[in-house]
Structure 1
Amino acid sequence: MDFNELIKQTRGRRSLLQALGVAAVGISFGGLAACSKEGGKTLANGEEARLNFYNWDTYIGETTLADFEEATGVAVTMDLFDSNDVLFAKFKAGNPGYDVIVPSNDFVERMSKADMLMPLDHSLIPNKKNIDAAYINVEYDLQRKFSMPYTWLALGIGYRKSKVSATPDSWKVLFDSPEYAGRIAWLSEAGDMFRLFGKYLGKSVNELTPADVATIERMMIKQKPNVKKFHEDDGQDLLLKGDVDVVLEYNGDIAQAMVEDDDIDFVIPKEGSQLNSDNLCIPKGAPHPKNAHAFINYILDANVDKHITETILYPTPNAAAKALMPESYKNNPVIFPPADVLAKCEYARFNPELQPLFEEAFTRVRAA
């Protein structure tokens, strides 16, 4: 089965839970308090046969949790969150009972510095060998002390080819031009927006200053009348419906839309962009840490990750799993941008001084 057929079967992450239904194995919508009380079986490792997973919506294979339970006897309860801010807030007062969580790269750094994450025992994760070496020694978690990579994403411009005068290969189109007034959508995440404006200004996403934040705030307020919507990671849907013609969005989301509509395309601007990575971590105080390591190791299995990738259709950092995917996936330049394009992209680092400035300024922009 090729990439196009895969994508037609599962129209992106948001469609998966609809396909599974609320009775899906291992998924809880009522939080940990809603977990089943049956069983209490003890495993050979001395832990109860349970695992509590806190994940993004529709971000797992259709049978992954049930397959893990069949293979190990460990029942998984999965609760859902919709932003890193929600995830962080959940753990500020301590771990409420989760074993594995999926923070993005800058929040891996933020949570590890806040002593919210447990160092991983790599001897219990032999499938680490399947990860592409490029994703091991990353700046936000050197030598993967606290995290294992799950997916990665690149931000860029999704656009409708018939509605643009030329390929919109500069952030100027979104950030500093009235050319597509009323047909533009921005992300609603403050940090991403300020860092990408920084890229447009020739800065590293990790070298902004408070003065830069003030400059960018003024630029945003000037451009805001041209922006139709601040979207919640549904930019591809806005393009498909014809609500906007150019949108700031993730590569995987636009790749999905491109299969449905050949008038849609994606470009990473010539100034470069920001890379994001979602990661598997064990929060400090996890009630089942051995099961958590076993679960992370299971997800990093080549065949398991292949099935996850077939469902969520995002770039995988798992080289062994990628090798099992069809050529139409592996060679898709939207899913896997060329090396010269990626060379101008960066992972964001958590900046405790700037983060509140980003959020306060963006609140003012949205209210302007």
Structure 2
Amino acid sequence: MTTTPTPAMPTVMPAHPTRRGILAGLGAAAVGISFSGLAGCKKKPAQTLNFYNWDTYVGKNTLSGFEEASDIGVNMSLYSNNDELFAKLRGGNPGYDVIVPGNDFVQRMARAGMLMPLDHAQLPNMKNILPRFQDAPFDPGRKYAVPYTWLVLGIGYRKSKVDGVPDSWKWVLDSPRYKGRIAVLSDAADLCRLTEIYQGADMNRFDKGALAKVQDLLIRQKDNIATFHDDNGQDLLLSGDCDIVIEYNGDIAQVMREDKDLAFVVPKEGSILQSDQLCIPAGAPNPKAAHAFINYLLSAQAGADIARTIRYPTPNGAALALMEPDYRNNPVIFPPEAALARCQYATYLGEDAYRAFQDTITRVRAA
């Protein structure tokens, strides 16, 4: 992200932006630091919007472009994961206008009464969303959320260090072949669900027996795992610290531009589709400005700027039409349909399931 920093902003940015890169490095003290697209400029906007987002998850001109077009200032604060976002808003909205939860957290927050219904009349740029994203199983009718990005979990790897294409979760979850060179996600829900997929279980059914099998497998595999990473698997690959990692396609696409020895595959057993969503939290102080900001993010130019910066797949058809061939035709950013057909969205399974995911991975890591 290249917006002009406020004095509180850290001056050292990660070499390879991810949704968690800054906060993972700085720790909890970084949460809540703010960015403004017009910081340092003489013009004072007529009003202000508070945007709560993942780190480095906007385009180079996203904040400044909206402010210049609307005369609405944007203060962006950062969170490091969906659980943190949920906890921050659970007791009431402290003043945020737009947030970016993952798809299963849209369900979770909607059921908890934490989201404001969207006024589609104020979002004419919804027409730019690709047909496959116009509706969503986790938010029928797009009542609470519109798509910002979509992504898929898979295996990133260094071609010169692995045997062929590691197209199965076996090589990270159930094999000593790459002992000490494996990195898996620290996110408890995702790691449990991916292991359930590998074991042939239904990841969208809360089954304590299936989780017990997940725990047993991961405990057996633990000695082969170098680290449980906070969404910086692409950096571990690029630095040579690991040779095979569980990571998002967009993150691997970022570093593949710098190192041609890196690659990505969606395993044959299938995987998790995810989509980060733009939502207005209940109690937003400026819902009209929030709608205007979301509508701006759905524009062709803003969407293309975001996609060029973060290299995640865009659900914005008008933005996609503006993108260069090396983005549009990239099979890592846009995996083949045959691979995507084996993937599915994670659904919200209730609070007991989320606690069980956390308890399972806590026991694995303590073993």
Asked if the contact 1:198–1:208 (Cα under 8 Å) also holds between the matched residues in 2, the reply is: no
Q: 1:13 aligns to what? A: 17
1:232 matched to which residue of 2? 230
Q: What does 1:21-100 correspond to in 2, within 5 Å?
A: 29=33, 49-100=47-98
Structural mapping, 1:128-277, within 5 Å: 128-277=126-275
Q: In the aligned structure 2, how far is the partner of 1:248 from the partner of 1:303?
A: 32
Deviation per CA, 1:117-161: give whole Å up to 9, x if none.
Answer: 000000100000000111122111112110010001110000111
User: In the TM superposition, what whole-angstrom CA distance separates every residue of 1:89-122 from its partner, at most 9, and x where no partner exists?
Assistant: 0001100000000001111111011000000000
Q: What amino acid is aligned across from residue 291 of structure 2 in structure 1?
A: H
Distance 1:195 1:17, change over 3 A: closer
Q: Which residue of 2 aligns with 1:22?
A: none
The farther-off stretch of 338-347 and 62-71 is: 62-71
The equivalent residue for 2:362 is: 363
Using the alignment, how far apart are the partners of 1:15 and 1:295 within structure 2? 20
- CA distances 1:303-359 after superposition (whole Å, capped 9, x unpaired): 111111111111100011001101111010100011111000011011113111000
- In the TM superposition, residue 16 of structure 1 has moved relative to its aligned partner by 12
**Aligned 8 A contact 1:11 1:256 in 2:** no
Is 2:206–2:349's contact at 8 Å kept on the other side of the alignment? no
Q: Report if aligned partners of 2:157, 2:243 keep a CA contact under 8 Å in 1.
A: yes
Shift in CA distance, 219/247, structure 1 to aligned 2, threshold 3 Å: same
The code of the aligned residue for 1:248 comes to: I
**Separation in structure 1 between the aligned mates of residue 72 and residue 356 of structure 2, nearest angstrom:** 43
Are the equivalent residues in 1 in contact too, given 2:98–2:279 (CA < 8 A)? yes
- Name the % identity: 55
Once the two structures are TM-superposed, the CA of residue 290 in structure 1 deviates from its matched residue by 0.5
Contact 1:101 1:282 in 2 (8 A): yes
SS of the counterpart of 1:260? coil
Q: What does residue range 99-138 of structure 1 map to in structure 2 within 5 Å?
A: 99-138=97-136
The alignment status of 1:341 with 2:339, answered yes or no, reads: yes
Aligned residues: 342
Tell me which residue corresponds to 1:301: 299
User: Counterparts of 1:217 and 1:16 in 2: how far apart (Å)?
Assistant: 26
Q: Hey, what's the Cα distance between the residues in 2 that align with 1:237 and 1:194?
A: 23
In the alignment, the residues of structure 2 paired with residue 175 and residue 354 of structure 1 have an alpha-carbon distance, to the nearest angstrom, of: 21
- Rounded to whole Å, the distance in 2 between the matches of 1:136 and 1:313 is 21
The residue type equivalent to 2:189 in the other structure is G
Aligned residues of 1:16 and 1:62 also touching (Cα < 8 A): no
What TM-score do you get using the length of structure 1 for normalisation? 0.88
- Whether contact under 8 Å (2:45, 2:73) holds in the other structure is no
Give 3-state SS (helix, strand or coil) of 2:330's partner: coil
Structure having greater relative contact order (Cα 8 Å, sep ≥ 6): 1
* Deviation, structure 1 residue 162: 0.9
**Structure 2 stretches lacking a partner, 5+ long:** 1-13, 23-31
Q: 1:306–1:325: 8 Å Cα contact kept in structure 2?
A: yes
Shift of 1:217: 0.5
For 2:45 and 2:149, the matched residues in 1 are separated by 32
Q: SS at 2:116's partner residue? A: coil
CA shift in 2, pair 1:14/1:342, >3 Å:
closer
Match of 2:27 in 1: none
SS of the aligned residue for 2:312 comes to coil
Matched, 1:281 2:279: yes
Q: Structure 2: how far apart are the matches of 1:251 and 1:190?
A: 19
Q: Could you tell me which amino acid in structure 1 is paired with residue 17 of structure 2?
A: R
Aligned CA distance change for structure 1 residues 58 and 273 (closer, same or farther; 3 Å): same
